[in-house]
A and B are shown apart, each in its own frame.
Chain A
Amino acid sequence: MIRGTVCLVALLAGAGSASADPESDRQALARYFEQRFPDVEVAAHIDGAYALNAQTREQWLAMEDFPPYEFSVDDGEVLFGASFKDGSGYQDCFGDGNVKAHFPYFDLKEQSVVTLELAINDCRVASGEEPLAYDGEDIALLSAYMAFTSRDSVIDIEVPPEGLAAYEEGKQYYYSRRGQLNFSCSHCHMQMSGMKLRAETLSATIGHVTHWPVYRLKWQEIGPLHRRFKECNEQVGAEGLEYQSETYRNLEYFLTYMSQGLPLNGPASRK
């Protein structure tokens, strides 16, 4: 009995210190936003800045009434249904497409984070098809359709011990100052969340990944999460990285765990 308690105490002590325990990170972040926005449910942050600004929310709801990304979902459905040369198709890898809740995951064989976009290409390559360009339209349409079929399922990903290093790298990236403006993601999306940068209301970290891919009015087309990572990097004067680069996949891995347990609501329209 003594040995049990000793090891338990050690464990708790360990958890308390800087060890990378995703669940305690997530709870601490949830508490941070509960204190910062007492009258905003944690789950409400899946609507991003529109959970924090009533005026812009009204405009957003007008857009969501019949959103322009519906065409992308329809086109994505056609692509999803097409079969490969060897007769198989995406259904063989993803069923009806309602799988986004379990992405990204840590692939033990590859020892790296696998996002939905990577899995789409893995599925194609396994059937002898050419992989799609990560900044291309087809992969955005496919992930738009799969995001749509995954709507309302709850984010449920795992960080196995082997995946802790990748998770930790994503976390470090998120909290590190970057670029000539010397901001980290957390400066805008935690300390300044709910406030404005020029006309932009800053969204909270929690809920950041639930609604992708996104049709940004600015882009006038649907685009993946990593396009937003790259754009954000460049806005603080940092060099943007490649879509699906290891850094961005680890960042998505960390951010997705921060939204663990929240319902998916993609694709979505944004300003």
Chain B
Amino acid sequence: MKTNFSRRWFVKGLAAVAVIASFPGAAFARATGAFKADKTDSVVNVLFGDLPIEASSQITFRLPDIAENGAVVPATVATEIEGVTQIAIVIDENPNPLSAVFDIGESSVADVSTRIKVGKSSVARAYVKSRGRVFMTTREVKVTIGGCGG
């Protein structure tokens, strides 16, 4: 019984991948469960396949060193790199590290800001995809237990 179960999954899986691959940019991320992945490596794998991740100092990744409140952490990703098509924000220690993916159209500037939840102190990563290459920079964000105690 077990074998034909896995065979049926295999066939269905093949069909699904074919359909999903045709989606543009971030929709591909959504469809392939990048948001469901619970480790950064699997997020990166799903988003960028086996493209090399190149550390870059050309990405401005503004994130507080110590978050006032982990529920609302202001984050900005901006870069001068040309031809950017996608920006992603990943928080390693979050249950689902992938927070947000932005598809940047040609007439948009590669400079986005939002506010994200950070569960606990973590390495935060900003990925920038441009012309078939993926650049990344990291920041440390500490999250403290709020309140004066007592």
Do any beta carbons of A and B sit within 8 angstroms of each other in the complex? yes
**Interface with A: B16-24, B62-70, B80-88, B101-109, which one?**
B62-70
Complex partner residue of A198 from B64, B67, B71, B147, CB under 8 angstroms: B147
Say yes or no for B132: interface residue by CB 8 A criterion. no
Say yes or no for A35: interface residue by CB 8 A criterion. no
For residue B147, give the distance in angstroms from its CB to the closest CB of chain A. 7
B146 touches A199 (CB 8 A): yes
A181 touches B150 (CB 8 A): yes
Say yes or no for B11: interface residue by CB 8 A criterion. no
B72 touches A217 (CB 8 A): yes
Complex partner residue of A197 from B64, B115, B148, CB under 8 angstroms: B148
For residue A65, give the distance in angstroms from its CB to the closest CB of chain B. 8
Q: Given A63-B72, A63-B74, A220-B71, A55 and B65 touching (CB < 8 A)?
A: yes
B74 touches A197 (CB 8 A): no
Tell which of A68, A198, A235 has the most Cβ of chain B within 10 Å.
A198
B146 touches A218 (CB 8 A): yes
Say yes or no for B13: interface residue by CB 8 A criterion. no
What 1/0 flags go to B74-113 for Cβ under 8 Å of A?
1000000000000000000000000000000000000001
B66 touches A199 (CB 8 A): yes
Say yes or no for B145: interface residue by CB 8 A criterion. yes
| Complex interface: chain A residues within 8 A of B64 (CB) | 55, 58-59
Task: Report the interface size for chain A: residues with CB under 8 A from the other chain.
Answer: 21
Q: Given A59-B74, A198-B144, A271 and B69 touching (CB < 8 A)?
A: yes
For residue A188, give the distance in angstroms from its CB to the closest CB of chain B. 8
A200 touches B69 (CB 8 A): no
* Distance between Cα atoms of A235 and B146 in the complex (Å): 12
* Distance between Cα atoms of A60 and B68 in the complex (Å): 8
- Scan residues 18-64 of chain B and give those whose CB is less than 8 A from a CB of chain A: 64
* Distance between Cα atoms of A188 and B64 in the complex (Å): 25
Complex partner residue of B147 from A59, A220, A235, CB under 8 angstroms: A235
| Complex interface: chain B residues within 8 A of A235 (CB) | 147-150
B150 touches A200 (CB 8 A): no
10 A-B pairs with least C-beta separation: A199-B144, A62-B74, A217-B69, A271-B68, A197-B148, A217-B72, A59-B64, A271-B69, A235-B150, A59-B68
27 examples of A-B residue contacts, CB within 8 angstroms: A55-B65, A56-B66, A58-B64, A59-B67, A60-B68, A62-B74, A62-B113, A63-B72, A63-B115, A68-B72, A197-B148, A198-B148, A198-B149, A199-B66, A199-B145, A200-B147, A217-B69, A217-B71, A218-B69, A220-B71, A235-B147, A235-B148, A235-B149, A235-B150, A236-B150, A271-B69, A271-B146
